[in-house]
Amino acid sequence: MADCIFDEQGFWVPCDEIVKFLKPLVVLLRVADGDKPAMGYIYEGMDRAKEAIRFVYGGDESKYGPFWEIIDRRWHHQLHRPIYVAAYYLNPAFRFIPSFKADVEVLNGLYAIMEKMGLAGTSQINLFREL
């Protein structure tokens, strides 16, 4: 066991890689489990975590791709709901920065929440004007 632990390349380098890979996900979990409301931060947080993982692997998709697949599978089956997208869209922390992205997915999520609230037609148009 001691030989294994003292073998820097065989033990500590992979451990360092694991820590670098997991850090963005742990940060996101801490946000979700924190004392302040996190709904408006989950959607953007997931994108940031995935980008941080891509950076850890130097953009080499063959290395980060399998991890992204696991993350995406969990994300799409459990957390990818319109409410998170709408919360992201309405969160001033993101809404008013230049890198804010209101792509088709974000707008569809916002529309879905408006429909659940009973807003349609003119009400949706008026709400978008105010936003």
pLDDT of residue 101: 78
pLDDT at site 86: 85
Output b/e per residue, 70-92; b: 16+ Cβ within 10 A: ebeeebeeeebebebbbbbbebe
Per cent of the chain over pLDDT 70 is: 97
Residue 52 — very low, low, confident or very high, per pLDDT cuts 50/70/90? very high
Please report the pLDDT score of residue 99 as a whole number: 82
For position 21, what pLDDT does the model report? 82
Look up the pTM and report it. 0.72
